[in-house]
Structure 1
């Protein structure tokens, strides 16, 4: 956390931080959960590989699944993880390659955040950063005033975005063109075998339950319905501890980074109850390594207030972008922070720009079509 020093303003900032926030929490999962999550993740990856023969991107579509859907078997996105990230398997590959590269040049892949800064532009902007908790507190206050929701159990949350993903299957980072994506998320309680619909490249296809959920996927971290979100703790400390325990650990990835990314998914891909949204931003301020990123940019090049965290093990940095006037969420960007074997410093792993969020009564129908 950064604070100004040497001025009365700096002392005031520190006093304000002490008033607003409780002590930071740790990020260890309960005993025995590490191996459970890792084993389940590997099983899901193995099962998905057997089904598709291709490790597509998170919430993206590989062509094998699309052909299967057209043959009468509905396709589905990859694991329901944050859509602006590279896939879990790809990030694991990236982490392994980056760690190997860092070892060859004598670096420490587990060094602290000060040892591996973000790209040159982010480093140049760092001198203008404010204490991140103050920025997130303002974003939280704006979110608390939102009139979003409520969303009925029989309705769908609609999100239209411009997304840019990357492909790592060759071992080298290949950034794909920007494309439009629309998703309709079903809100019905209980286990569902059809979670909603996705439209990319002109096709509208159903989203099937998570791999391994033979009876359907229940509401939760991978299917965050409005009702489930409204039931989350609104105390920032308790909320962070709850999300930390729910978020799986991935080998080689900082768990704090995984929690940061999970919160990023919730604020970008759902309609949040105002109290939950406000709590999520204050919870993010408690995550070690979270900083402000002034003049951050989303997938469409829109500039705004940025909140960022760097995963030093993977040499990646993720930034959330907020409108500088109303502090609403605009989008996000994830990129490499150093030259690696998979790509050069600054190479894009993924980006998105949220264009519209709404609530509709029927899946696959745009809000303006009603």
Structure 2
């Protein structure tokens, strides 16, 4: 199966992109390819830009520039939900928490694997029974070995990266180490300056980075949280519940389909929330019909292992 076919299949579960979002996403991917093939690495033009990583829904959103299925986040009396913390404050507390939790984390070897295990619960918005699955991902640390993605009962094997293949944002540890741990410089490294433009793409890239390997270089995950806090328009969604039933607070950006969820109080990162559509049919650029749903994912375990099939202690 070629990548365009794979992306079309992924798009079947998300709403159609607006023209503005499509343009922004296309420009972002064009810049990424240009940077990988020209300014950042003297390589030939890649045969494909690998967006798959084990994060299919979020990757499809970034590739297609998909816009949100808007969900009313107001209380029963119609008033906006209020909280004592702002979105920026939650993100800064999450950054402090991840710095403390990541202290002393060993550096993975190139021949090892990043392991991530998540519980995903999908709830139809118009009635129907929620479904739950367990996702397990073994991702080659340097991309030189095969990787494996297990989505419930479905298993997907991915061959090693070739010389002309790159992931964006990167997942190889050596490439992650090149990213700055200062939030302003991280935004610049991802192709987003301080001129206030392309904020949707900045949000996409930062969320995709957070959906990447559970074992990141010291300070990088914290920098991603702090970079999100710098985006004007970032909002807090009170009382989100992740796939494990843990109550927390979510962070989102206007017209985007997904966002991180944090534990209430400690602000520990729990996982991601995604709004989507399953089924339906494409009429021009519009997706007609289909079943709207909310999917929440809770991270159960992450770490580094030696072989596919192993789980960290």
Q: TM-score band (shorter)?
A: 0.5 to 0.7
Match of 1:333 in 2: 273
Pick aligned residue for 1:306 from 250, 267, 285:
250
Deviations, residues 189-234 of structure 1 (Å, cap 9, x unaligned): 6xx4x5511223446542236xxx764534x524412222222112
Match of 2:30 in 1: none
Tell whether 2:21 aligns with 1:48.
no
Pick aligned residue for 1:265 from 186, 198, 208:
208
Match of 1:319 in 2: 259
Counting only pairs closer than 5 Å after superposition, residues 164-203 of structure 1 correspond to structure 2 as: 164=121, 177-188=131-142, 192=144, 194-202=145-153
Give yes or no for contact 1:118–1:317 (8 Å, CA) kept in 2.
Answer: no
Counting only pairs closer than 5 Å after superposition, residues 217-232 of structure 1 correspond to structure 2 as: 217-218=165-166, 220-232=167-179
Gaps in structure 1 of 5+ consecutive residues: 1-44, 59-76, 99-115, 247-253
Higher strand content, 1 or 2: 2
Give yes or no for contact 1:140–1:281 (8 Å, CA) kept in 2.
Answer: yes
> Cα–Cα, structure 1 residues 151 and 47, in superposed 2: closer, same or farther, change >3 Å?
closer
Higher helix content, 1 or 2: 1
Give yes or no for contact 1:83–1:265 (8 Å, CA) kept in 2.
Answer: no
Counting only pairs closer than 5 Å after superposition, residues 1-370 of structure 1 correspond to structure 2 as: 48-49=4-5, 55-56=9-10, 79-80=52-53, 82-85=55-58, 87-88=60-61, 118-121=72-75, 124=79, 126-128=81-83, 130-145=85-100, 146-147=102-103, 148-164=105-121, 177-188=131-142, 192=144, 194-202=145-153, 204-208=155-159, 215=163, 217-218=165-166, 220-245=167-192, 255-270=198-213, 271-311=215-255, 316-335=256-275, 342=289, 347-367=292-312
SS at match of 1:367: coil
Between structure 1 and structure 2, the one with the greater Rg is 1
Gaps in structure 2 of 5+ consecutive residues: 13-49, 277-286
Instruction: For 2:129 and 2:65, locate their aligned partners in 1 and report how far apart those are by CA, in whole Å.
Output: 17
Number of matched pairs: 259
Instruction: For 2:64 and 2:223, locate their aligned partners in 1 and report how far apart those are by CA, in whole Å.
Output: 28
Match of 1:3 in 2: none
Give 1:280 deviation, angstroms. Answer: 1.0
**TM-score with structure 2 setting the length:** 0.66
**TM-score with structure 1 setting the length:** 0.57
Instruction: For 1:230 and 1:152, locate their aligned partners in 2 and report how far apart those are by CA, in whole Å.
Output: 13
SS at match of 2:93: helix
Instruction: For 1:134 and 1:159, locate their aligned partners in 2 and report how far apart those are by CA, in whole Å.
Output: 27
| RMSD of equivalent CA atoms | 4.2
> Cα–Cα, structure 1 residues 153 and 214, in superposed 2: closer, same or farther, change >3 Å?
closer
Give 1:317 deviation, angstroms. Answer: 4.4
Give 1:278 deviation, angstroms. Answer: 1.6
